[in-house]
Amino acid sequence: MNDVPTPDFAVDLASVATLAESIRAQIAKAVVGQNETVEHLLIALLARGHVLLEGPPGTAKTFLAQCFAATLGLDFGRIQFTPDLMPGDILGSNLFNFQTSQFTLTHGPIFCDLLLADEINRTPPKTQAALLEAMQERRVTLDGTAHPLPPQFMVVATQNPIESQGVYPLPEAQLDRFLFKVDVHYPSFEEELRIVSRFGENRGAPSPADCGVEAVASHAVIEAAARSVAQVTLAESVTDYVVRLVRATRESPDLASGASPRAAVLLAGAARARAALEGRDYVVPDDVKALAGSVLRHRLLLSPAAEIEGKQVEALVAQLVEQTEAPR
């Protein structure tokens, strides 16, 4: 196993970039391609956000999340969402112990550092809502008592396209708590050749350990890296640009519902993290432009007229980015 860096490892932005490169190298041992998805996971980690991965089955969404957690040395939890899953199956409950005549708290799988919510849209909204408090406030309330979650708590959720059978659309309040929605596509021909050559002889699903994925970080390192990212300079002109871009989604006639102020806050934080990964201590408009689609696409709702005309949310976001004047 690689030596885990000391807490002083990630005290400056150059070290943050070095840490990210180490994480990418470890994930590449197991996952072929998916570079854009890995980049979004890194940004979300540093910006303390959550990620929703959408794509067809068999595109390594779950395996990628497992490898990501393994590189960070985080406590990994997984919930397979099904139609009969109940909120208590996620959060836990107070169970009566007949031997002691007292209630004993039983923690659910949500009490971890990195939670994989697998196929989150296969469970009804009532159960999906069990994640709302945890994602926003990093705590869980059971029988009136609040139980804190780790500061690194992060949700990586996967979902199949809404056209798939047996799925439920995520409520708007749930979607708004995800920093990113990332579309995971099928690999290229060359990437698929490498996947089959590497894993074609396996009789079962590989694990990160089977592929040699090792931890290159620790809780202390991740916390230090996040604090460093929070110090990245966000100029007033760039802040103004972020706000104008988000507000433009509420003014577009093609959109029935625009992005919330939370979206503006999260976009600014993500831009800081992207700048840090590129070794800069300041945000430029290109950081905002590069992340606008992933931050906004799941927060916007097309108007009925736009749906009839066959317009796409991604194209409208790109249009708004182009039309919103950026600082020079």
Contact 208, 66 (CB under 8 A): yes
Tens of pLDDT, residue by residue over 276-304, are 998 888 999 999 999 999 999 999 988 89
Give residues with Cβ within 8 angstroms of 188, minimum separation 6.
Answer: 33
User: Do 239 and 261 sit in the same domain of this protein?
Assistant: yes
- Look at residue 4 in the predicted model and tell me its pLDDT: 42
Read off the tokens for 77: 């939890």
* 258 has a pLDDT exceeding 50: yes
DSSP conformation class of 188:
P
| 36 part of a folded domain | yes
Give residues with Cβ within 8 angstroms of 47, minimum separation 6.
Answer: 179, 226, 229, 266, 269, 270, 272, 273
User: Do 137 and 244 sit in the same domain of this protein?
Assistant: no
- The residue ranking higher by pLDDT, 199 or 194, is 194
- Look at residue 165 in the predicted model and tell me its pLDDT: 65
- Look at residue 169 in the predicted model and tell me its pLDDT: 80
How confident is residue 2, by pLDDT bands cut at 50, 70 and 90?
very low
Read off the tokens for 268: 């600014």
User: Do 207 and 271 sit in the same domain of this protein?
Assistant: no
* 53 has a pLDDT exceeding 90: yes
| 7 part of a folded domain | no
User: Do 318 and 186 sit in the same domain of this protein?
Assistant: no
The pLDDT mean for the chain works out to 86
User: Do 137 and 207 sit in the same domain of this protein?
Assistant: yes
Tens of pLDDT, residue by residue over 63-119, are 898 899 889 888 888 999 988 888 888 888 767 667 777 767 778 889 989 999 998
Which of the listed residues 195, 225, 255 is the one where a domain comes to its end? Answer: 225
CA distance 306 to 157: 28
| 242 part of a folded domain | yes
Which of the listed residues 168, 193, 225 is the one where a domain comes to its end? Answer: 225
Domain of 177? 13-225
User: Do 76 and 153 sit in the same domain of this protein?
Assistant: yes
Tens of pLDDT, residue by residue over 20-40, are 899 999 998 888 888 999 999
* 163 has a pLDDT exceeding 80: no
User: Do 84 and 155 sit in the same domain of this protein?
Assistant: yes
| Average pLDDT of the segment spanning 121-144 | 85
User: Do 301 and 203 sit in the same domain of this protein?
Assistant: no
Read off the tokens for 299: 């927060």
- Look at residue 203 in the predicted model and tell me its pLDDT: 66
Edge-to-edge order in the sheet of strand 76-80: 76-80, 114-118, 154-159, 51-54, 180-183
- Look at residue 3 in the predicted model and tell me its pLDDT: 45
% of the chain with per-residue pLDDT over 90: 34
- Look at residue 224 in the predicted model and tell me its pLDDT: 86
Contact 74, 152 (CB under 8 A): yes
* 184 has a pLDDT exceeding 80: yes
At 303, which CATH number? 1.10.8.80
How confident is residue 162, by pLDDT bands cut at 50, 70 and 90?
low
* 211 has a pLDDT exceeding 60: yes
| 88 part of a folded domain | yes
Domains contained in the chain, number: 2
Contact 68, 156 (CB under 8 A): yes
At 162, which CATH number? 3.40.50.300
- Look at residue 292 in the predicted model and tell me its pLDDT: 94
User: Do 123 and 237 sit in the same domain of this protein?
Assistant: no
How confident is residue 5, by pLDDT bands cut at 50, 70 and 90?
very low
- Look at residue 86 in the predicted model and tell me its pLDDT: 87
Which of the listed residues 173, 202, 225 is the one where a domain comes to its end? Answer: 225
Q: CA torsion 243→244→247→251, rounded to 10°?
A: 180
| 52 part of a folded domain | yes
| Average pLDDT of the segment spanning 253-268 | 92
User: Do 143 and 275 sit in the same domain of this protein?
Assistant: no
| Average pLDDT of the segment spanning 260-282 | 93
User: Do 46 and 63 sit in the same domain of this protein?
Assistant: yes
CA distance 4 to 212: 15
Give the residues across from 54 on adjacent strands: 159, 183
Pair type for strands 154-159 and 114-118: parallel
